[in-house]
Amino acid sequence: MNEESKKRYQRIIQDLGQIPTMPTIAAKVMQIVNDPHSSAEDVAKFISRDVALTSKVLRLANSAFYGIPRTISSVNSAIVILGFNTIRSLVLSASVLKVFPAKPGLVSFDRKAFWKHSFMVGIASRMVAQIYRKKKLVDMETAFSAGLLHDIGKIILEQFSNEEYIPVLKAAKEQGLPLFLVEKSMLGMSHADVSGMLVDKWQMPNELKGPIVNHHSPVEDKASQDMACIVHFANHLVHMKGSGCMDKETYAPLIADVESVLNLGITQEQLLEELEKHILEAEPFFSLIEAN
């Protein structure tokens, strides 16, 4: 890293001190969910304090995405039927858009396209995890949350270090290179690293940090390899569907070792067909984007 890059890196680290904290209700829900002594009633009590969040959680819980054969009419029932990790996914989904609203004058990339990509990678990660579970037990909702947040560092860099980030976005487009490579070269860090900083600040479970930080280098960290490979592969599938964060975005090719690590026993064409079904079932998640 040259001297100018070092200065830029230091400025960005300073700017990132402005990353907001998680909304109070969501943070409390995360704390309760992660406490092994908590009950469904404990979680429901706090979610129910926020009428808007309660409404969103119930709408998502009743979507075809979760395939519950009967109507879930209360938050307590949703928690009992779906489990703590699913509720964590729902609360994250309902909360994260509010924390990073579009700022006037910042037009680096299309916010709706960004959130659509993020939700699609969450959905694809959950789908891949569901298939992978036949070989090795992984948590589908951790996969969803990691997929949802994998690119959140892009929004953070855009909002809190815009002057430094605009030239990076421009260079990536002009050079036809994957954004994370240009970020590493020009900033000394990538959006994946910044996403990891958010995981730390929001005190989210450790099992989320590895796959988020390593989604561009999934085989490097053995501790998070399986989940990082799932998110990496899901990201690849979503890009193959033409849903990126920015117009004319160049994305990195699938790392060859990922398919052998996962060994899903199903072709990418079949996975893309299956993903289309999951996306249709997850329509209420995309309605969250339209509401912001």
The pLDDT tens digits of the residues spanning 41-81 come to 998 988 888 888 899 889 999 999 998 888 999 999 998 99
Mean of all residue pLDDT scores within the chain: 88
Is the pLDDT reported for residue 101 higher than 90?
A: no
Helical (H) or strand (E) element with 3: helix 3-15
Question: Tell me, what amino acid is at 132?
Answer: Y
Query: Are residues 84 and 123 part of one domain?
Result: no
* Judgement on whether residues 93 and 208 belong to the same structural domain of the protein: no
pLDDT at 234: 97
pLDDT over threshold 60, residue 28:
yes
180 contact partners, CB below 8 Å, separation of at least 6: 190, 191, 192, 216, 252
Burial 217-230 (b: 16+ CB within 10 A, else e): ebbeeeebbbbbbb
- Print the domain residue range for 173: 3-20+101-290
Say how many domains are in the chain: 2
* Mean pLDDT score, 177-198: 92
CB of 135 within 8 A of CB of 129? Answer: no
* Residues 85 and 178 occupy one common structural domain: no
Question: How high is the pLDDT of residue 224?
Answer: 92
CA 254 to CA 238: how far, in whole Å? 12
In a shared domain, residues 117 and 77: no
Q: What pLDDT sits at residue 50?
A: 87
Among the candidates 99, 124, 147, a domain finishes at 99
- Answer yes or no: do 167 and 152 share one domain: yes
